[in-house]
């Protein structure tokens, strides 16, 4: 009889970390049931609510506390993903890079946890993953975001859903007026912050250390990480940051409007939707809302009191160690111009400075012009942003920076070879999840995945990616310019294209 009572008692205490197929953890809102992997060394808890459903009157409001529940909540499957346009394959982005075809919902504020801890007191380091998608798409159930492999390496991975598109980034004078913070627009960022607050309160129940948290993201997720380092609301919620291909230091497509500009855009959107009040906007269907373009982070005076560059210049950022970089072919570009068309376009756009521009991005032949167009897209959209962030932070000498360039051209069939080391291509290597990708991988790819995931895990653990058996990764500074080239043979070397990046930074700051 005593034996029959022991197991329920262990489960209710939140101490059920033994290797069984189903286990329960106790968090602030109640009990959650997770499931182990096939080998019993990693538990996953999926679809844990971290905020109240942002529906009805809670549409376009800061995330509210989740209501406690009775009994044990089944958390063995992903929740519904945020409302967005139906995910379709395009270019190199096959199903492995997209959210699953599961129902989408405004009721999307759920997170997932992968842990290999056997008891809650282990205090394992934690990585909180923020997905990309241009702030208009994305979700946590993308196959390559699975956290099992990283959990096997000793960290706890948490992935957080956040509102995207018009539901996540929409400002309006009426929304600002009803807000106790006199701001509107950054609901997606507030969701991320709510997820981090949940981690601080609850991750110990899964064997995690709430004082050793790293925020990490790619593309819009990386831009989000950049925003969170500049937000006073992020203070104390994380100790390190990983930013893969994305930041908002300089003017660009994700530089962000101020609150007044965003409100003006919101008024125009409301008129297009024929909504005369906030009440009418909240009654609109998601199908109607999706007809309008989504937004992006806003300098709202609350979540982001100033531009990111301004916050860093005023020493008001959250000073945390940074691992950041971008990919060799991090580009989004349409039809490539011929050499003649390319030269004419540069001369028209840059006039007196066109000769210097063509020196850094030449186009004497069609092939050279094509390569330069890819480099321009890469550098303007991603390269200069992460490069500037790294330079600004390293110059302060208060928190270390580690910079990388991912160069591995993912093996592919003829249709995909042209994309090279494409945007998002590094994620499968970082998560050590090549098994989810349908590509003709070679032994060097798994070796690179082992190396990269180890670097990331080491950084999450200690703030330093270096470790036994790994090529030395030096701390970055603008004088030494040493970066880790993550390719077939990882090695540190001077930053490629430094002169071109410096030139582009000056151009974008004009």
Let me know how long the chain is.
Answer: 510
pLDDT, position 11? 39
CATH number of 319-510: 3.40.50.1820
DSSP 8-state assignment for residue 400: -
pLDDT, position 253? 54
Q: Measured in Å, how far apart are the chain's first and last C-alpha atoms?
A: 78
Distances (CA, A) of 266 to 60, 106, 139, 171, 485: 12, 19, 24, 5, 43
Name beta bridge partners: 216.
Answer: 129, 242
* Integer Cα distance of 489 and 407 in angstroms: 10
pLDDT, position 282? 98
Q: Quickly tell me which residue has 């759920």 as its tokens.
A: 110
pLDDT, position 90? 78
The listed CATH number (3.30.390.10, 3.40.50.300, 2.40.50.100, 3.40.50.1820) that belongs to domain 1-317: 3.40.50.1820
pLDDT, position 16? 43
Domain with CATH 3.40.50.1820 in the chain: 1-317, 319-510
Where helices occur in 47-186 by DSSP H, the ranges are: 148-152, 165-168, 173-178
* Integer Cα distance of 398 and 409 in angstroms: 35
pLDDT, position 7? 33
Q: Quickly tell me which residue has 């897209």 as its tokens.
A: 377
Span 258-277, pLDDT tens digits: 999 999 999 999 999 999 99
Span 359-412, pLDDT tens digits: 999 999 999 999 999 999 999 999 999 999 999 999 999 999 999 999 999 998
pLDDT, position 252? 58
pLDDT, position 6? 29
Give this prediction's pTM.
0.94
pLDDT, position 254? 55
* Integer Cα distance of 17 and 115 in angstroms: 9
For residue 6, the SS3 value is: helix
Torsion angle of the four alpha carbons 278, 279, 280, 281, in this order, in degrees rounded to the nearest 10? 50
Where helices occur in 135-258 by DSSP H, the ranges are: 148-152, 165-168, 173-178, 187-202, 220-230
DSSP string over 450-509: HHHHHHHHHHHHHS----TTS---PPP-TTT-EEEEESSS-EEEEPTTHHHHHHHHHHHT
pLDDT, position 412? 84
Residues in the chain predicted with pLDDT less than 70, given as ranges, are 1-20, 102, 251-255
DSSP string over 54-67: --GGGTTSPPPPPP
């Amino acid at each position: 009889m005593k034996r029959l009572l022991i197991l329920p008692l262990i489960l209710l205490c939140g101490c059920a970390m033994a290797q069984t197929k189903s286990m329960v953890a106790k968090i602030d809102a109640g009990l959650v049931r997770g499931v182990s992997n096939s080998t019993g060394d990693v538990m996953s808890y999926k679809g844990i609510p971290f905020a109240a459903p942002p529906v009805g009157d809670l549409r376009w409001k800061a995330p509210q506390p989740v209501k406690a529940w009775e009994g044990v909540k089944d958390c063995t499957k992903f929740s519904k993903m945020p409302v967005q346009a139906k995910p379709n394959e395009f270019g190199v982005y096959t199903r492995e890079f997209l959210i699953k075809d599961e129902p989408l919902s405004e009721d999307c504020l759920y997170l997932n946890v992968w842990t290999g801890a056997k008891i809650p007191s282990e205090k394992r380091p934690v990585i909180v993953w923020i997905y990309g998608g241009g702030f208009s798409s994305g979700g946590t159930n993308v196959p390559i975001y699975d956290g099992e492999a990283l959990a096997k390496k000793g960290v706890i991975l948490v992935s957080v859903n956040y509102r995207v598109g018009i539901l996540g980034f929409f400002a309006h004078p009426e929304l600002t007026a009803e807000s106790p913070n006199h701001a509107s627009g950054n609901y997606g960022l507030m969701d991320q912050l709510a997820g981090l607050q949940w981690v601080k309160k609850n991750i110990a129940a899964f064997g995690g250390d709430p004082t050793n948290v790293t925020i990490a993201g790619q593309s819009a997720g990386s831009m989000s990480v950049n925003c969170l380092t500049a937000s006073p609301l992020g203070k104390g919620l994380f100790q390190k940051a990983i930013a893969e291909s994305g930041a908002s230091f300089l003017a660009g497509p994700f530089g962000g409007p101020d609150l007044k500009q965003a409100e003006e855009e919101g008024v125009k959107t409301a008129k297009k939707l024929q909504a005369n009040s906030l009440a009418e906007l909240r009654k609109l269907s998601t199908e109607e809302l999706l007809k309008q373009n989504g937004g992006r982070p806003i300098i709202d005076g609350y979540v982001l009191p100033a531009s990111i560059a301004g916050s860093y210049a005023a020493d008001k950022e959250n000073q945390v160690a940074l691992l950041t970089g971008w990919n060799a072919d991090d580009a989004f570009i349409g039809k490539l111009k011929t050499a003649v068309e390319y030269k004419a376009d540069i001369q028209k756009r840059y006039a007196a400075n066109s000769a210097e521009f063509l020196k850094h991005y030449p186009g004497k032949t069609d092939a050279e012009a094509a390569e330069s167009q890819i480099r321009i897209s890469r550098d303007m959209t991603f390269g200069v942003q992460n490069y500037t962030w790294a330079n600004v932070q390293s110059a302060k000498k208060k928190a270390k920076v580690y910079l990388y360039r991912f160069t591995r051209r993912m093996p592919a069939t003829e249709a995909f070879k042209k994309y090279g080391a494409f945007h998002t291509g590094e994620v499968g290597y970082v998560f050590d999840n090549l098994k989810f990708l349908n590509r003709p991988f070679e032994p060097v790819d798994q070796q690179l995945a082992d190396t990269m995931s180890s670097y990331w895990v080491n950084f999450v653990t200690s703030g330093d990616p270096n470790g036994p058996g790994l090529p030395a990764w030096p701390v970055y500074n603008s004088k030494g310019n040493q970066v880790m080239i993550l390719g077939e043979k990882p090695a540190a070397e001077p930053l490629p294209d430094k002169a071109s990046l410096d030139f582009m930074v000056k151009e974008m700051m004009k």
